[in-house]
Structure 1
Amino acid sequence: MRTALRRRLLPAAAVFLLAALPACSSSSSDSGSGSGSDAAKATESGWSFTDDLGKTVKLDKAPTRIAGVNDQIVPLMNYGLEPVASWGYSSIKDDARFDDLDTSGVKQVGTAYGEIDLEELAAQRPDVIVSEVYPTDEKGTIDESQPDYGFKDLDQQKQIEAIAPVITIKLGGDGADVVERTTEFAEALGADAKTVAEAKERYETASAALTKAAKDNPVTVTSLYADTDGVSVAKAEDDPALNLYAGLGVKFFEPKPKGYYWGNYSWENAGQIGGDMWLLQQAGYDTAQLKKQPTVADDAALAAGQVHPWVSAALDYVSQADYMEQLAGWITDTKPLDD
């Protein structure tokens, strides 16, 4: 489960594809991901975008019918775009990130990791499909022997690539950079400049508020996930969003166990976990279940009720502004507990 969580919290019948696929081509680029006008170009000769794996997708014209994994569809919708299909590790109605968005025009083609209705996806006639990939270590290494996140295996990914070109966004490293890259992709797809500008302004205001809250009340924050196997504490430097908050001054508890992304504690050792405030991943145990565990039941943060949701907020201006505003408020209200 922890491996799936690191990849945004997770984790053959014959496929009848449309006879006529969008006119497109995809080629590799040794230069890696681009930026600004170099990453996406819409000219009289067509449209192109170089993704974070160095793939350049070329179309006769700018794509308008977009499909993809929920994590990437949410940002596009926050910037005013209207995707045609989406899939993820839950249904849209159970994904709180879609709560304030009009999803009536989005066809849900998958509600569990790797389970995508390819025939239904093809029926939506997407021009491009957006997916994402996660590093496997601190160096940002991408395991090219594995499929992009959300795809069951490489065979399924190839079948999806036959429907429409896949554009891959890398989720790793500096969270602020990922937010910028996600926004750049939305702009390449035609996101309204005013909508993006307003979202960025709110994001910058929320960033400043979080910085002030962290400076005025320098408490220690612990981001964790718990289940029957024990407790996993996230390492802020390895999670793009937590990395973003740390860069704004938030102090995070550093787990002792070695490893990429997670510091894993057995329940016998869970009493070693500190922090003035806990951010609890909603996919695992809730606070009531934590209180039933003898080694953490008396933890100061838990006893003080200083436990808040750690949500998988999408990496775009709107989503991050929403969560940073909440985080700033929680930090302001948190009482220092550790010695």
Structure 2
Amino acid sequence: MWTVSRLRRLLPLAVVSLLAVLTACSSSTPAASAGATASKGPWTFTDDLGKTVKLDHAPTRVAGMNDEVVPLLHYGLKPVASWGYSAIKDDARFDGLDTSGIAQIGTAYGELDLEKLAAARPDVIVSEVFPTDEKGTIDKSQPDYGFKDLAQQKQVEAIAPVITIVIGGDGADVVDHTTKLATALGADSATVAKARTRYDTAAAGLKKAAAAHPVTVTALYADSDGVNVAKAQDDPALRLYADLGVTFFAPTPKGYYWANYSWENAGRIGGDVWLLEQDGYDSAHLKKQPTVADSAALAAGQVHPWVSAALDYVSQADYMNRLAGWLTDSKAVTG
């Protein structure tokens, strides 16, 4: 989730030449991705930034950010390495998934163990990037999300080609792009088709629930500095739900993606149902804040987790089912 800055103390980075030596000397590496077999012919894939990766065989060893590794696992693939802004065991999106054999090379933003990444011998590495405005502009002067800087990204690219997924625009499109990559990496077509059916069924259920229970939903993050309310049209997943009929609270502060409220002004935040990002304050903390303690959604107990579900058929189906249930159980409590 790109909700807050998770920049922490950055570890010293090893030089690429050292990584190459360690790769050659490594005697223990994770198994190749399950469901992926090397082809005899060349393999190409063009990512969302227009970069074309060309290999002499289909990649079987894939590394990536947690956000992109979760979809691959759902589609039956087994990446060899992963990193994110938390440990795999602390990331609820991995619950129920077999993560054995996945080398964890980073648990904080920008802190990657490049020696460990090189030792995993990935054929390709999957990352992501977010637009900087409503037009979908990608700032090419900045690294992909999760890398400390461009220098670190270049070190990663020296280990294996990087495939970038753009997390912006219509969530349904992002899900399709993620699935296209998984298929290219060897995901079983029957597994993908089953996941798509599950996704379509959940989407239909959410659409029905939104029509039958017209409540207003607010997605937000809160900490000691104040409250940030997400603008649904700027978040791919929230936009997907909005396209299915979910009504979202429209915050007034200007800016891309986030509308920022100080605690003094937080009482202006509306919505019958709140989706609360899990990395910040929980409901108990909110109830201690005088300006929001009496908010209608909080008082009614209509506050639920916003878990930033991965953009794949399975993850989104699960969250849409949960959201449909919350809408069904909620009532309008604001004017």
Structure 1 and Structure 2 fold alike (TM over 0.5): yes
1:300 deviates by 1.0
2:54 maps to which of 41, 53, 58: 58
**Structure 1, residues 71-112: CA drift from partner, whole Å, max 9, x if none?**
000000000001000000000000011111111110000000
1:226 alignment counterpart: 222
3-state DSSP class of the match of 2:20? coil
Alignment of structure 1 residues 313-328 onto 2, 5 Å: 313-328=309-324
Alignment of structure 1 residues 96-115 onto 2, 5 Å: 96-115=92-111
Please tell me whether residue 75 in structure 1 is matched to residue 71 in structure 2.
yes
In structure 2, C-alpha distance between the alignment counterparts of 1:317 and 1:218, rounded to whole Å = 25
2:198 alignment counterpart: 202
Report if the CA contact (8 A) 2:209-2:328 is conserved: yes
In structure 2, C-alpha distance between the alignment counterparts of 1:243 and 1:196, rounded to whole Å = 23
Please tell me whether residue 5 in structure 1 is matched to residue 7 in structure 2.
no
Q: Which runs of 5+ in 1 are unaligned?
A: 23-41
1:265 maps to which of 251, 258, 261: 261
What TM-score do you get using the length of structure 2 for normalisation? 0.91
1:19 deviates by 4.8
Residues 92, 43 of structure 1: alpha-carbon distance in 2 compared, 3 angstrom cutoff = closer
In structure 2, C-alpha distance between the alignment counterparts of 1:136 and 1:226, rounded to whole Å = 22
2:171 alignment counterpart: 175
In the alignment of these two chains, the number of paired residues is 316
In structure 1, C-alpha distance between the alignment counterparts of 2:39 and 2:310, rounded to whole Å = 30
Residues 63, 21 of structure 1: alpha-carbon distance in 2 compared, 3 angstrom cutoff = farther
1:276 alignment counterpart: 272
Report if the CA contact (8 A) 1:21-1:163 is conserved: no
**Structure 1, residues 24-67: CA drift from partner, whole Å, max 9, x if none?**
xxxxxxxxxxxxxxxxxx98640000011111000000000000
Alignment of structure 1 residues 65-144 onto 2, 5 Å: 65-144=61-140
**Residue 19 of structure 2 aligns to which amino acid in structure 1?**
L
**Structure 1, residues 113-161: CA drift from partner, whole Å, max 9, x if none?**
0000000000000000000000000000000000001100111100000
Once the two structures are aligned, what percentage of the paired residues are identical? 73
3-state DSSP class of the match of 1:17? helix
1:145 alignment counterpart: 141
Report if the CA contact (8 A) 2:22-2:119 is conserved: no
In structure 2, C-alpha distance between the alignment counterparts of 1:312 and 1:18, rounded to whole Å = 35
3-state DSSP class of the match of 1:263? strand
In structure 1, C-alpha distance between the alignment counterparts of 2:39 and 2:173, rounded to whole Å = 26
Please tell me whether residue 18 in structure 1 is matched to residue 23 in structure 2.
no
1:4 deviates by 4.6
In structure 1, C-alpha distance between the alignment counterparts of 2:146 and 2:13, rounded to whole Å = 18
1:299 maps to which of 295, 298, 309: 295
RMSD of the TM alignment (CA)? 1.7
In structure 1, C-alpha distance between the alignment counterparts of 2:14 and 2:270, rounded to whole Å = 52
Report if the CA contact (8 A) 2:65-2:146 is conserved: yes
1:229 deviates by 1.0
**Residue 305 of structure 1 aligns to which amino acid in structure 2?**
G
1:280 deviates by 0.4
In structure 2, C-alpha distance between the alignment counterparts of 1:63 and 1:216, rounded to whole Å = 46
**Structure 1, residues 173-224: CA drift from partner, whole Å, max 9, x if none?**
0000000000000000010001000000000000000000000001000000
Residues 10, 194 of structure 1: alpha-carbon distance in 2 compared, 3 angstrom cutoff = farther
